[in-house]
Amino acid sequence: MIQVEHLIKMYGDLTVLRDVNAEIKKGEVISIIGPSGTGKSTFLRCLNLLDAPTDGSIYIDGQDILSAKANVPLLRRKMGMVFQNFNLFEHLSVMGNLTIGPIKLLGRSREVAKARARELLKIVGLAEKENAFPSELSGGQKQRIAIARCLSMEPEIILFDEPTSALDPTMVSEVLSVIRRLAKEGMTMAIVTHEMKFAHDVSSRIFYMDQGVIYEEGTPHEIFTAPRKNLTRTFINRIRSFHFHIANANYDLYALNAEVENFGEKHIFTPSRRNAVLLLVEEVLQLCFSIGDEAIANTGGVDLNLSYSENTDVVEVMLESHASIESVMTRHEPDDGLSKSIIAGLCASTEEIVEAGRRKLTLKLKN
């Protein structure tokens, strides 16, 4: 359906896309991942000609869309785009947003356009909002309206540019659910996203973009569990884990817990596993910074690192410090008894090693 050959995009002297080659077939769901600034948005914008490619070819259904003869408005209509910031028409009601395109650009009658808009509102779960204005909607609702508006133009493919990254965490899943539904119904889509679990579940293929090219592509399994190339592996490992620096006993417990929860959500942990991670982190830090023991706080605090391996299904909590955390865990203070037995109950193993003068304690959570 879409064939991209040797696509190059430069902004002045800056080469953003060096040589992008890709094929997207009808019914495929492609997730595009990669570090920020590697040209993912630029790639989508070139695909639907919001940005003019510097060189290369893009074929849609066999037609070269960069040729002078191409019917650009028609080609663009085949491709819907959903942006990070929704881009709804603020002065129009939801119904207005969903009917203006079909009436003005597709030549639909008002009645037909309205009937279709109501069907689409049902699909995105917002049938009761047809008379609302964008300013009355939550971010998640706005994005679902933006998706409905995109569908109202009857696109053959939808390009999503980080559709959930402007949303509160609580609203991410309602938007992802709508996209999942479209995927199930066979919609062709290309999605730039940081939601790795989602990308893993919904995609037929993943493009990992880096260094101005599609650096590695493969099935979700290939990219997420067995990436072949270096940069992909580094990227996947980095997003799998989570860091937090705790300087002393006065750390922001709520911020830390929110991050831990977020980590658990990203990897779709069960509630009991999420609670186990929270409890373990809290109890270990409690011991590290317990009253009367300044050893860790006086040597710069602790770096906390959480990681999860889908391969082994193991969660690891790693603590790094200049002082020995294990000695904290094994010392005999009457007040520490409860924390210690909770930790022992949660962990399958604990191991401390010394590396470059730092002590690293790894706690493996029981499954």
Q: Does 53 bind ligand ADP (CB under 6 A)?
A: no
- Helix 337-346 × helix 271-288 angle, to 10°: 140
C-alpha to C-alpha distances, 7 to 4, 22, 46, 99, 231, nearest whole angstrom: 7, 9, 9, 35, 21
From its phi and psi, is residue 186 left (phi > 0), alpha (psi between -120 and 50) or beta? left
User: Applying CB under 6 A, which of residues 42, 99, 141, 164 lies at the interface with ligand ADP?
Assistant: 42
Tokens of 73: 């408005």
**3-class DSSP state for residue 292?**
coil
Q: Is 94 exposed, middle or buried (0-12, 13-18, 19+ CB in 10 A)?
A: buried
User: Applying CB under 6 A, which of residues 2, 4, 20, 39 lies at the interface with ligand ADP?
Assistant: 39
User: Applying CB under 6 A, which of residues 2, 4, 16, 328 lies at the interface with ligand ADP?
Assistant: 16
Which residue number, 158 or 304, has a Cβ lying nearer to ligand ADP?
A: 158
Taking CB within 5 to 8 Å according to partner kind, which of ligand ADP, Mg ion, none is near residue 89?
A: none
Tokens of 271: 């509630």
Cα gap 142→118, rounded to integer Å: 16
Span near ligand ADP by CB under 6 A; candidates 11-19, 89-97, 261-269, 350-358: 11-19
Sheet strands side by side (includes 2-11): 14-24, 2-11, 55-60, 63-64
Which residue number, 213 or 276, has a Cβ lying nearer to ligand ADP?
A: 213
Which residue number, 216 or 293, has a Cβ lying nearer to ligand ADP?
A: 216
Tokens of 279: 């409890």
Tokens of 363: 């706690």
Q: Is 361 exposed, middle or buried (0-12, 13-18, 19+ CB in 10 A)?
A: buried
User: Applying CB under 6 A, which of residues 7, 31, 33, 40 lies at the interface with ligand ADP?
Assistant: 40
Which residue number, 215 or 244, has a Cβ lying nearer to Mg ion?
A: 215
Q: Does 41 bind ligand ADP (CB under 6 A)?
A: yes
Q: Which residue has the tokens 């499954």?
A: 367
- Helix 139-152 × helix 169-184 angle, to 10°: 20
* 178 in Cβ contact with 167 (< 8 Å): no
Taking CB within 5 to 8 Å according to partner kind, which of ligand ADP, Mg ion, none is near residue 38?
A: ligand ADP
Which residue number, 45 or 359, has a Cβ lying nearer to ligand ADP?
A: 45
Span near ligand ADP by CB under 6 A; candidates 19-27, 30-38, 130-138, 173-181: 30-38
Q: Does 36 bind ligand ADP (CB under 6 A)?
A: yes
* 246 in Cβ contact with 260 (< 8 Å): no
**Under the rule (CB under 5 A), what is the footprint of Mg ion?**
41
Cα gap 47→2, rounded to integer Å: 9
Taking CB within 5 to 8 Å according to partner kind, which of Mg ion, ligand ADP, none is near residue 39?
A: ligand ADP
Q: Does 37 bind ligand ADP (CB under 6 A)?
A: yes
Q: Does 211 bind ligand ADP (CB under 6 A)?
A: no
Give min distance, CB of 133 to ligand ADP, in A. 30
User: Applying CB under 6 A, which of residues 24, 33, 38, 328 lies at the interface with ligand ADP?
Assistant: 38
Give min distance, CB of 9 to ligand ADP, in A. 8
Taking CB within 5 to 8 Å according to partner kind, which of ligand ADP, Mg ion, none is near residue 143?
A: none
* 89 in Cβ contact with 145 (< 8 Å): no
Give min distance, CB of 41 to ligand ADP, in A. 3
Taking CB within 5 to 8 Å according to partner kind, which of ligand ADP, Mg ion, none is near residue 42?
A: ligand ADP
Q: Does 129 bind ligand ADP (CB under 6 A)?
A: no
Give min distance, CB of 105 to ligand ADP, in A. 26
Taking CB within 5 to 8 Å according to partner kind, which of ligand ADP, Mg ion, none is near residue 101?
A: none
Type of residue numbered 287: L
Rg (C-alpha) for the chain, rounded Å, is 25
Q: Which residues bind ligand ADP (CB under 6 A)?
A: 11, 14, 16, 36-42
